Amino acid sequence: MRRLWLIFAQAVTVSVAVLFVLNTLKPEWLRKATPAAVVAILEAPAGSERAPAAGSYAPAAQRSMPAVVHIFTSKGGRGQRHPLLDDPLFRHFFGERPDSAPSESGLGSGVIVSPDGYVLTNNHVIETADAIEVALNDGRKFAARLVGRDPETDLAVLRIDGAEALPAITFPAADSLAVGDVVLAIGNPFGVGQTVTMGIVSALGRSQLGINTFENYIQTDAAINPGNSGGALVDSAGSLVGINTAIYSRSGGSLGIGFAIPVSIARDVLEQIVATGEVVRGWVGVEIQDLTPELAASFGYRDAGGALIAGVLRGSPADRAGVRPGDVLVALDGESVRDPRAMLDMVAALSPGKRAVFRVRRGAEALDLEVEVGRRPIPPAAR
């Protein structure tokens, strides 16, 4: 009996040990196989196209995104050569040292405006660049050259040579943008890659911001961040309405106040630069300022309309025509002058050599002075 009991105990111990080993090393051998669960999923028929959701701006984005490019710039710096670098003994122990400092790089965005390879961007994106590279949304990269730039509107024109099948953005038939219209801002913010943000037109004709000489900005709450400069602002149809340029921010990021150059100004600058390599504007050589109610009262004027001539450059077209400091310009070629900003734009639009009639108020008199318009001097930054 004792022997049988020992055999039984040993058999149970071995069985338990085997079960323990199997449960530790091969637990799936001890589990009952269960059929895998099947989830029923409904799929669209193969090859069917996804219809845009109601209110979606995907068609506008898809139409314009291929024409918006990333612009990479580089600038090689040269450091001052240390005298020890010319010492043969120093070079024997320490080797040759490069003369140039590490290059600086920057990034921005641009818009292909012609299948011929012309690209619009901001002047501040490329103004210090020694080399410019353009990367398309399809992954292609090309070297680009500067055709011309206009610092007074912060626009520049580049050209990609030798590229084929370049996608170009569409210009609207007319400048019909209105406050409240939906717009999309497309660019490469912070270098993360092409990004689309949506907003509305918050205001039109923004000026006196101190950003550029000629200002007539579109204000939008579409997010514009560093790297978006030079990118496209498009309408709900995907047509170009502006070139993203600046933001109002205390942190460096978007606060919902962004500014874009209207396409009408961008197109005029583009056409002049492509044709002549520069932008030509009219100039008469006067310094102007706002005619405030206080100044108007001191001059004896009943209203504060027009632009006050604060100074006249000696030998300038205005000086030769008899314009004097203290005169108030109220009309140019029969068109009323509302304020100094309007006067600056009106004179800039005149062709050099044209004779324009300036109607000025001088005390109680109204005088018509014929001024031969000169050419606006090229800013030093554009030379």
Q: What domains can you pick out in the chain, each with its CATH number?
A: 57-81+102-158 (2.40.10.10), 179-274 (2.40.10.10), 280-373 (2.30.42.10)
Across 96-100, 119-123, 214-218, 253-257, the highest mean pLDDT is recorded for 119-123
Return the bridge partners of 149, or none: 156
Please, which residues have CB within 8 angstroms of residue 240's CB and are 6 or more apart in sequence?
64, 111, 113, 169, 170, 171, 172, 232, 233, 234, 263, 266
> Do residues 76 and 128 make contact, with C-beta atoms less than 8 angstroms apart?
no
Residue 229 has what DSSP assignment?
A: T
Lowest-pLDDT range, 72-86, 251-265, 287-301? 72-86
Mean pLDDT of 72-88: 63
pLDDT band at 233 (very low <50, low <70, confident <90, very high): very high
Give ∠ CA 233-238-242 in degrees, rounded to 5.
25
User: What is the per-residue pLDDT for 358?
Assistant: 93
Q: Is 202 left (phi over 0), alpha (psi -120 to 50) or beta?
A: alpha
Residues of the chain with pLDDT > 90, as a percent, come to 41
Give me the half-sphere count of Cα atoms (radius 13 Å) on the Cβ side of residue 353. Answer: 1
pTM for the full predicted model: 0.75
Tokens of residue 275, six digits: 């044709």
Please say if the pLDDT value at position 166 is more than 50.
yes
Specify the 3-state DSSP secondary structure of 8.
helix
Instruction: Please say if the pLDDT value at position 41 is more than 80.
Output: no
The confidence score (pLDDT) of residue 87 equals 57
pLDDT at residue 219 is higher than 90? yes
Q: Which residues are catalytic?
A: 124, 154, 229
CB count in 10 Å sphere of residue 120: 26
**The pLDDT of residue 103:** 52
Find the helix or strand (DSSP H, E) in which 92 lies: helix 88-94
Between 152 and 14, whose confidence is greater? Answer: 152
